[in-house]
Amino acid sequence: MQLKVIETPKNEVQRPAKPPVDLSTLSHRQLLDGDFWRRIPAYAGVSEADFLDHKWQMKQTITKVDKLLGALQGLVSPAVIADAEEGFGAAPMAVRVSPYLLALIDWQNPYEDPIRRQFIPLGSTRLADHPNLRFDSLNEQADAPVQGLTHRYPDKALFLALDTCPVYCRFCTRSYAVGPDVDQGELEKLSLKANNQRWDAIFAYVASRPELEDIVISGGDSYNLRADQVREIGNRLLDIPHVQRMRFATKGPAVMPQKILTDDEWFKALVEVVHRGRKMAKDVVLHTHFNHPNEITAITKRAMDRLFSEGITVRNQAVLQRGVNDAVETMTVLVKRLGHVNVQPYYVYVHDLVKGVEELRTTVDTAAQLEKAVRGTTAGFNTPTFVVDAPGGGGKRVVHSFEHYDRITGISVFSAPRVKPGQYFLYFDPLHLLPEAGQLRWKDPAEHAKMVQEALDRARAHAHR
């Protein structure tokens, strides 16, 4: 048999070969491994078995400022320790830092380290809160028909099961309830303890509302639920016929992945609820919260692999923070690294207006530019949506969907026609990132109401064009 040779037509354009990949673009696959925790003097003698034990991590988690500062002796200068002591003195959140988290911080460069910025405040970097900031800026309590359940969206509710977490983030939106009280008299925290009586009222409300199909179990943090509590909440919600989707929300994998690897009872409880849901054609997933590529290590991958082996979907909700993940390269690596460990990037939130962390906030424009730069670097289903959780209870709005945005005053106006029709919701960029003209207007209290009214008038004019 004679093979026929097919010649390339003379008029066909010769396509250039795709050049070899630059291996530096694959840095998202390079995960921190080895006994990195031994760089911390307090953990220099800790074995791998102990460090990977969730019970050891929990027992050694630092919950006192003096103990945290003591652990930094020999790592940083006395000036840095004094700076942190001043920062904690004005912080609205109590301290809670796991050994794993402490070991991820680059103590040779603490002022710039993205993980330090999120968990350890410094007095020298503190900025005044925005004049329009208020406690519970998302107005979750106003949308709570029973204590600990926010019903804002038509078919979804937020179940605040408890008020503790494996660590306490400085930037926590729910500082109005999460963690123990701090020594600041103006902050009276709402109690959301885990108890059956409060939960029974929540289950009864969900059962009475046939439109509720999607429940987020958060707090606090579902990592801190006992195994029997995971089963109780999961199974009672699955038993409600109209509940079709459930999300256990936790910061845990980012700050203590050891629990997934060694707390077999908790892991088994989660797997049971997920598998029972699947048999009932109901979707049970895990939502987590990584903000920076450095939070994803070889230990993380082992933990995520264990979840993946059981068919558990994991999605990520990051918070956009200045000096943490507001650079294109950092956000790109975060998105790619999440995909590498089988975590689906879901949301990137523009930082909420939270008391005491103004230096971490950035602008709506920054989020919009990041979204444009990141999109196209990986598959669409692994590309996060950048959103503003509209202050006052408007819910999550895509960052580009504002009705009006004044980059001089930093005021953006959003509407939420399917959540609260006819209302407008305002987000305020941090003052220190505004141009001089905007900063000057905000220095005059008489201008505040005028700027808000101008923004609302322009938003209404835009809506009625």
Which of 79, 71, 153 has the alpha carbon at shortest distance from 122? 79
- Residue 104: what pLDDT? 97
Same domain, 55 and 157: no
Q: What angle do CA 290, 138, 88 make, to 5 degrees?
A: 60
Same domain, 367 and 452: no
Same domain, 169 and 268: yes
Same domain, 326 and 439: no
Same domain, 365 and 436: no
- Residue 168: what pLDDT? 85
Q: Is residue 130 included in any domain, yes or no?
A: no
The reported pTM is: 0.92
H-assigned helices in 239-322: 252-255, 258-262, 264-279, 298-309
Same domain, 310 and 175: yes
> How far apart, in whole angstroms, are the C-alpha atoms of residue 46 and residue 28?
28
- Residue 185: what pLDDT? 46
Which of 262, 389, 241, 378 has the alpha carbon at shortest distance from 317? 389
Q: Say which DSSP state 4 is in.
A: P
Same domain, 277 and 321: yes
Mean pLDDT for 164-179 is 74
Same domain, 375 and 249: yes
pLDDT class of 45 with cuts at 50, 70, 90: very high
Asked whether 416 and 143 are in contact (CB, 8 A), the reply is no
Same domain, 377 and 240: yes
Same domain, 113 and 150: no
More confident residue, 189 or 57: 57
Q: Is residue 302 included in any domain, yes or no?
A: yes
Q: List all residues 6 or more positions away from 21 whose beta carbon is below 8 Å from its beta carbon.
A: none
Q: Is residue 20 included in any domain, yes or no?
A: no
The tens digit of pLDDT for each residue in 247-286 reads: 999 999 999 999 999 999 999 999 999 999 999 999 999 9
The tens digit of pLDDT for each residue in 119-164 reads: 999 999 999 999 998 766 666 778 899 999 999 999 999 999 998 8
Same domain, 434 and 380: no
Most confident listed range (18-32, 66-80, 186-200, 232-246) = 232-246
Question: Which residue range forms the structural domain that includes residue 296?
Answer: 141-397
Q: What is the dihedral of CA 189, 194, 195, 198, to 10 degrees?
A: 60
Same domain, 342 and 386: yes
> How far apart, in whole angstroms, are the C-alpha atoms of residue 428 and residue 406?
10
> How far apart, in whole angstroms, are the C-alpha atoms of residue 371 and residue 365?
10
Q: What is the dihedral of CA 220, 223, 224, 227, to 10 degrees?
A: 140
Say which range, 10-14, 100-104, 266-270, has the weakest mean pLDDT.
Answer: 10-14
Is the pLDDT reported for residue 88 higher than 60? yes
Is the pLDDT reported for residue 369 higher than 60? yes
CATH number for the domain that contains residue 207: 3.20.20.70
As for how many domains the chain has, the answer is 3
More confident residue, 38 or 69: 38
H-assigned helices in 90-161: 99-104, 114-119
Mean pLDDT for 185-213 is 85
